[in-house]
Amino acid sequence: MTIHERLSELRTRFESCEIAAFADLSTRMVLASSARNGVTQEQLDDLCAEACSALLSITSEAVKSAFGAPQSAGISYAVVPGQGYNRLYVTSPESPEEAVCLQWLGITPVGEILSASCSLLSTVGSDT
């Protein structure tokens, strides 16, 4: 199963999910995506930029410090509320430069969509 197929499967599993994307944070590029309706490159770029800001920026360093996490610990996920939607960014400890980026309407429990995103990340290496 390809990463695009996995993203589509994740997106359709949650009716409120509008966009599911897989990004390389080191290059700030979305490598694959699935959207319920059309999505522009600008929207994908914005999603990726926000993921970098939430997971890799000085702000994420401040959050780690505030919670007493070691500086070497990476933030593995972030939820960012928006105007009528929420976004979730998830990385894995094995590949912190790879992220699943999701945008959904606020009716999906975060725990469920986070769990599904972590499962997707754990299978990325097995894609054909």
Beta strand 77-81 with 29-35 is unpaired
pLDDT for position 24: 95
Q: Does domain 3-126 have CATH number 3.30.450.30?
A: yes
Give the pLDDT means over successive 10-residue stretches in the chain (128 positions): 94 94 95 94 95 78 61 71 91 86 87 91 69
pLDDT for position 128: 42
pLDDT for position 126: 55
**CA distance linking residue 55 with residue 120, whole number of Å:** 18
Q: Scan for tokens 């990385």, then name that residue.
A: 91
